[in-house]
Amino acid sequence: MENQKTDIYQMVTDKIIALLEAGTIPWKKPWSDAGLPKNLVTKKVYRGVNILLLNSLGYAQNYFLTFDQVKALGGSVKKGEKSQTVVFWKWLDANRPDTTPPDEKKPQKPMLRYYHVFNIAQCTDLPIELIPPIRRENHPIEACTSIIEHMPDKPRIQHEENEAYYHPKEDFINMPDMEYFVESEAYYATLFHELVHSTGHKDRLNRKELVEPTRFGTLQYSTEELIAEIGSCYLQSLVGIFHNDLSNSAAYIQGWLAKLRNDKRCIVYASGLAQKATDYILDVKADTTEEVEHTTKLQPATA
């Protein structure tokens, strides 16, 4: 009988939908205590939708290992513990005769890989010296300011109206004065949201969800909001802050649920674009070699 391939997109989306239906928004977690999820051995930070999946588990420390890594360190996985699936995808050159003109991009296809990891809390007998102590950022507001100041080609940021929004045509962000927010963390969470929107400008990442005309409530509009919301939380995670007021996000929850059910790739797609947006803001290059040496299965993503 032909082996059926695991539908990774459906698996990821089912987990996100379950969290939303339980009243939990997985990209609105107090991640600063646990830190960004990373591999204990390689120290590489997991990316994209993996941040949502691993943070939603709620462990005190976000360090993970493959089964083989646990064994290599002389440890073992506790009886009855279940692994978490981690996904990784990248674009590969299409395996067909290339007739692309020299000045055009070569045809590519997406390749999706996945493997399984365990949190250190699920393991025993790991070397104590390998597990870093829990630390918080010393001054997270200064870290926020630094991100904003060092963003390349950043839009103009003004404080002229009592509204928070990004204006794509004129390329500026308007923010209420910080004194109008209940806390400084809320101000930066909102500003990060608008900064992620700004990365979609035609002269930056040229993201279709932002540059193409759309209306409130449409699929494209909701996707752009997902990108901005997830990207904001990536940045909040990075600097060690978390804004607890979910009232601004509540209006989108029903739309998210409907869209996730109708398009199982949505959360993976939005998370990937959110990661690309935050990479742009932080002026870093993506590491496309993330943990591929631990891959246990290979599946091409269908079109």
**292 three-state secondary structure:** helix
What 8-state DSSP symbol labels residue 45?
B
Query: Domain boundaries in the chain?
Result: 8-300
Buried b / exposed e along 133-150 (16+ C-beta atoms within 10 A):
eeeeeeebbebbeebbee
> First CA to last CA across the chain, in angstroms?
25
What residues have CB less than 8 Å from 132, skipping those under 6 apart? Answer: 61, 63
- Helices 184-198 and 266-282: crossing angle in degrees, nearest 10, is 100
Residue 42: its pLDDT value, please?
93
Residue 281: its pLDDT value, please?
96
What phi and psi, each to the nearest 5 degrees, are found at residue 210? -100, -45
Look-up of token digits 């204006």:
167
What residues have CB less than 8 Å from 126, skipping those under 6 apart? Answer: 40, 65, 70, 73, 74, 75, 120
pTM of the full structure = 0.60
Nearest to 136 by CA among 183, 185, 80: 185
CA–CA separation, 200 and 173 (whole Å): 13
Tens-level pLDDT at each residue, the chain (303 residues): 333 344 666 776 677 777 777 766 666 543 345 678 999 999 999 988 888 888 878 787 889 999 999 999 999 999 999 999 898 776 666 655 555 555 566 666 666 778 899 999 999 999 988 988 765 443 447 889 999 999 999 999 998 887 899 999 999 999 987 876 767 888 898 899 999 999 999 999 999 999 998 887 777 888 898 899 888 888 887 887 765 444 445 445 566 667 777 777 788 888 889 999 999 999 987 554 343 333 223 232 332
